[in-house]
Amino acid sequence: MFSIHGITGQTFRGSLEHLIQVPGVFAARHARGINREGEELGAEFELARRRVRDDKDRESDPRYAAAAAAYAKSLRPDTQREAVRHAYQVMSRAVLTLRGDDTAETAWRRLTARGVRQAPVLEPARGVVGLVSERELLTVIDLEGKTPTGGLQRPVREVMLSPVVCADPVTDIRRIARVLLDSGLTAVPVVDAAGELAGIVSRGDILRAALADPPLSLWI
């Protein structure tokens, strides 16, 4: 489930199928309806669906069942872990946040100090109102080496992306990846049922999970 948050508060909440119909969310993509779960994955989904069907055919073979049971018995207990499927399993919880009245210089220095490329922008009583990344900051400041110059006193609220797409903690990682690809966002803030910031999922978080924390259930 996704939501859109901006300076006027939450303006949308719904599924990916409804999100893609919101004007301006995916500027580089024409909105279209999705008839069934997984259709947005295209050819990859069809291949995965065929693999699942083939697996079911193999499982009906008694020889396969016996071999699978023997293999399962040989597995060590520490390999039995919950598959990674949802935002809360990969999101970064120690989130750097900024305020709308922070300056571009402050934002740049804080991003650099933390070694991150983006940060949600929070306002009292409103929660998440936007997202600012290095890309937006570089539209108003210049760099001389690693030193920011020019436009340093511009407030973050003038350069941040707003409104911004946010996700629920139990949002499927595949759908977050779809939003990141289609919107060009570098990250998606994660907000709980009360609208409070719970974490953030970046492209790097998804890649790190794929590399370091199998089993990762992305396609089945």
Tell how strand 142-144 and strand 147-149 pair up. Answer: antiparallel
The reported pTM is 0.70
d(CA 117, CA 144): 19
Q: Average pLDDT, stretch 80-96?
A: 83
What does the domain layout of the chain look like in residue ranges?
A: 2-31+85-212, 39-79
Residue 148 has pLDDT above 70, yes or no: yes
Residues 6 or more apart in contact with residue 20 via CB below 8 angstroms: 26, 29, 31, 32, 34, 182
Q: Which CATH class is domain 2-31+85-212?
A: alpha beta
Tens-digit pLDDT profile for residues 15-73: 998 998 888 887 644 333 334 444 444 444 444 445 445 555 555 666 656 666 665 56
In this prediction, what percent of the chain has a pLDDT beyond 90? Answer: 48
Q: Which pLDDT band, with edges at 50, 70 and 90, does 213 fall under?
A: low
